[in-house]
Amino acid sequence: MANPPRRVPPPGQRYDAVPQSPRSAGPSRQSSQSNSYGQPAPYQSSQNSYIQNNYSQAGYGQGGPSQSYLNTRQQETAHGVATGAIGGGYGPYSYNQSAQPTTAYSSSRFSHTPSEVSATTGEKAASAAPMVTNSNTVPPYMWDTKDPDLDDALHNPDPVQDRALDRSFTIFSARGWANASALILLVAGLLVLFAGYPIIIWARDRNPRITGFNLGGINGTGQVPNLPNMPSLIDKDTDKQFYTRTGTDGQKYNLVFSDEFETDGRTFWPGDDPFWEGVDLNYWPTGDLEWYDPQAITTENGKLVITMEEINNHNLNFRSGMLQSWNKFCFTTGYIEVSVSMPGQPEAPGLWPAAWTMGNLGRAGYGSTTEGMWPYSYDTCDVGTFPNQTDPSGNPTSAATGGTGGAPLSFLPGQRLSACTCSGSDHPGPSVNKGRGVPEIDIFETQIDTSRFQAEVSQSFQVAPYNYQYEFDNSSDATTLYDTSITKLNSYKGGQFQQAVSAVTDINNADYNDQGYATYGYEWWSDPKNRDDGYITWLSQGTHAWTITSQTIGADSVSEVSQRLIPEEPMYIIMNLGMSPSFQKQDFKHLTFPAKMYVDYVRVYQRAGVKDGVGCSPSSHPTADYIQNHLNAYSNPNLTTWDQAGYTFPRNSKYDGC
């Protein structure tokens, strides 16, 4: 017997023309409304007040229909929508597109609700036209999802047939092989496009025809884009004729950094400049009389200007400026040149203008960072790393009287980051047995020879540990003075806190107060793999002044120290205008303020082919992590010792044991 059709006609559609009279909400009515869709939950809404008002206007009285009536009507509406009795005749695909939606809340044109059994309004209806059978007149059927889809055979599930099809397989399927081949070709094409093509290009063009990165060069035109607001190591105002130079060693040197100071009104407070920063402190290590303030540094008329004024500042009587590139710009080996006009006048001694460089592990003016670091340039594990350059027993005895006039040779606390550092200790690397320090090379420090009132510059290498009585090798094989008529070895050779390998050269007395300029610089070369090749050559007023070599600071059998190093640390630049009785006594009778030091430019060159020569934390001598891990010391100038900053010296394996 054939199964009866599973499609049943839905309840007749209801198109309520007017609201129906209220009905009883008794149990029998609720019972008659139960169906397969379940009992709809009563609907609660703030809209009831609105409905009550409408019904009140429609004649239900002040209170309107009861809440039970409203709930019942809502349930009937929900049931009608769920079964298709309501809503089936509306929309673009309705069975009766001309029908008008009606609900229990539609407004009636009657002032009183008709009887619920009223079929008409009493008006005479027009005679009905013959019914034409079409999609609007054929009764719609509720669709049973178990029936096959009459429109689309793909939507007719058959579990038995589907399982059989799923288990079927043939290796000779042409369609299957076509699909697999298409996938293989697609994957192969992607591999060739994203892996094979770059490899082919690399193998074919080992020497690219276009300079730059990526397959097409730096950009679409093959040119570097012009980004005017991005800082550049080489100042755009530097004339291209100064992009290269020939060194004293005959090698080609390329410009790697320059600042022409052509933009007026620059400021140098922290964060103002990508390469420079003015400090805000008193330089107490040398007993300076001034307070360094960034406000004293600016640019005007194409020059950097550092001004010293007689202004009460931080309980000091003078204010001036010190500009540093610490941890911003550093270089390892090369040639640095500055063009300067000196402050004051040769007849009034006492000012201390200077330009110098120092190892990045020490921040000038931050005493805790330089304790046990400045001016060490040493990579040997021996007595040279010990406090006072003596072992716990006081040997060598020469150190007890090796200073000036028979005084002790050294008061240094020992090399903090020595080649004797115990394994696992606090050390910047690259290994704990690598001696690190903060050497200093002075481009110039200007003083006045008061016996002649002649301006002169000292050009020095400050170093530790020390020779006996601070006497370096000044033989002609080790040290060269190019013009002894204007250059001589400095009578000051050092003291308990530094050894000064220094010479003094006369300069032109006219190069003062923005009226005349002269260039000063030094050429520096060192090679950790061949330390005997190291040297420093100073230039004054554009000509050679003097040269030291690794032999100048070689081993000393009397003080029992080994070879000191021509610096291998990354060095940063410092320019300042100071005043200290420890450098030269002040002649306040003739000194006038404000006094200004003018710098026309700073340029740094390096040998062609040097790698990792620019940067403050090269892989061979890293500094970044060490500085980051000791920020308290590197950010507080009021701390004078490493211990005050909250840190301790690593143990020295030869002195303390590990």
Residue matched to tokens 């001004």: 307
pLDDT, one tens digit per residue, over 410-442 is 999 999 999 999 999 999 999 999 999 999 999
Structure tokens given for 226: 């012009």
Query: Average pLDDT, stretch 249-256?
Result: 96
Cβ neighbours of 443 (radius 10 Å): 26
Domain membership flag for residue 295:
yes
Between these two residues, 213 and 337, which has the higher pLDDT value?
337
Structure tokens given for 563: 């070879």
Contact 464, 596 (CB under 8 A): no
Nearest to 655 by CA among 400, 416, 358: 416
The answer to whether residue 312 scores a pLDDT higher than 60 is yes
Distance CA 323, CA 296 (A): 10
Report, in angstroms and rounded to the nearest whole number, the Rg of the chain calculated over CA atoms.
Answer: 47
Please measure the distance between the N-terminal and C-terminal CA atoms of the chain and give it in whole angstroms.
102
How far, rounded to the nearest angstrom, does the alpha carbon of residue 345 sit from its chain's CA centroid?
45
Q: How many domains does the chain have?
A: 2
Structure tokens given for 525: 């070369």
Query: Average pLDDT, stretch 524-540?
Result: 97
Distance CA 266, CA 231 (A): 14
- Tell me the CB-side half-sphere exposure of residue 355, using CA atoms within 13 A: 25
Residue 378: exposed, middle, or buried by beta-carbon count in 10 A (0-12, 13-18, 19+)?
buried
Could you tell me which residues are beta bridge partners of residue 300? 303
Domain membership flag for residue 154:
no
Distance CA 99, CA 103 (A): 13
Domain membership flag for residue 614:
yes
φ, ψ (nearest 5 deg) of residue 135: -70, -15
Domain membership flag for residue 192:
no
Q: How does strand 595-607 pair with strand 334-341?
A: antiparallel
SS (H, E, C) 284-331: HHHCCCEEECHHHEEEECCEEEEEEECCCECCECEEECEEECCCCCEE
Confidence at 202, pLDDT banded by 50, 70, 90: confident
Distance CA 19, CA 25 (A): 16
User: Would you put residue 450 in left (φ > 0), alpha (ψ -120 to 50) or beta?
Assistant: alpha
Angle of helix 67-83 versus helix 48-55 axis, rounded to 10: 100
Cβ neighbours of 216 (radius 10 Å): 11
Contact 553, 588 (CB under 8 A): no
| DSSP code at position 257 | E
Contact 359, 437 (CB under 8 A): yes
| Domain span holding position 249 | 245-635
Domain membership flag for residue 426:
yes
Q: Which of helix, strand or coil describes residue 464?
A: strand
The answer to whether residue 552 scores a pLDDT higher than 80 is yes
Domain membership flag for residue 1:
no
Distance CA 492, CA 501 (A): 9
Tell me which H or E stretch contains 98.
none
Nearest to 325 by CA among 268, 286, 280, 377: 268
pLDDT, one tens digit per residue, over 575-612 is 999 999 999 999 999 999 999 999 999 999 999 999 99
Distance CA 370, CA 326 (A): 13
Nearest to 552 by CA among 472, 631, 492: 472
Q: How does strand 535-540 pair with strand 277-278?
A: unpaired
Query: Average pLDDT, stretch 261-273?
Result: 95
Model pLDDT, residue 56: 47
Contact 410, 499 (CB under 8 A): no
pLDDT, one tens digit per residue, over 634-655 is 999 999 999 999 999 999 999 9
Residue 72: exposed, middle, or buried by beta-carbon count in 10 A (0-12, 13-18, 19+)?
buried
Model pLDDT, residue 425: 96
Report in angstroms the alpha-carbon separations of 601 from 116, 234, 303, 514, 517.
Answer: 104, 12, 7, 13, 11
Model pLDDT, residue 81: 66
Distance CA 428, CA 622 (A): 6
CA dihedral 569, 253, 460, 457 (to 10 degrees): -150
Confidence at 26, pLDDT banded by 50, 70, 90: very low
Please report the DSSP string for 517-566 in residue order.
-EEEEEEEE--TT-GGG-EEEEEETTEEEEEEEGGGG--BTTTTB-PBPS
Distance CA 303, CA 319 (A): 20
Between these two residues, 472 and 144, which has the higher pLDDT value?
472
Domain membership flag for residue 172:
no
Chain mean pLDDT for the chain: 84
pLDDT, one tens digit per residue, over 150-195 is 566 666 777 887 787 777 777 888 888 999 999 999 999 999 999 9
Cβ neighbours of 603 (radius 10 Å): 23
Query: Average pLDDT, stretch 372-382?
Result: 98
Q: How does strand 318-320 pair with strand 290-292?
A: parallel
Q: How long is the chain?
A: 658
Contact 511, 481 (CB under 8 A): no
Cis peptide before 430 (omega within 30 of 0): yes
Structure tokens given for 108: 């009636």
Model pLDDT, residue 336: 99
Is 257 in the same domain as 140?
A: no
Cis peptide before 346 (omega within 30 of 0): no
The answer to whether residue 543 scores a pLDDT higher than 70 is yes
354 CB contacts (<8 Å, ≥6 apart)?
442, 443, 444, 445, 446, 574, 575, 576, 577, 578
Domain membership flag for residue 3:
no
CATH of the domain at 420: 2.60.120.200
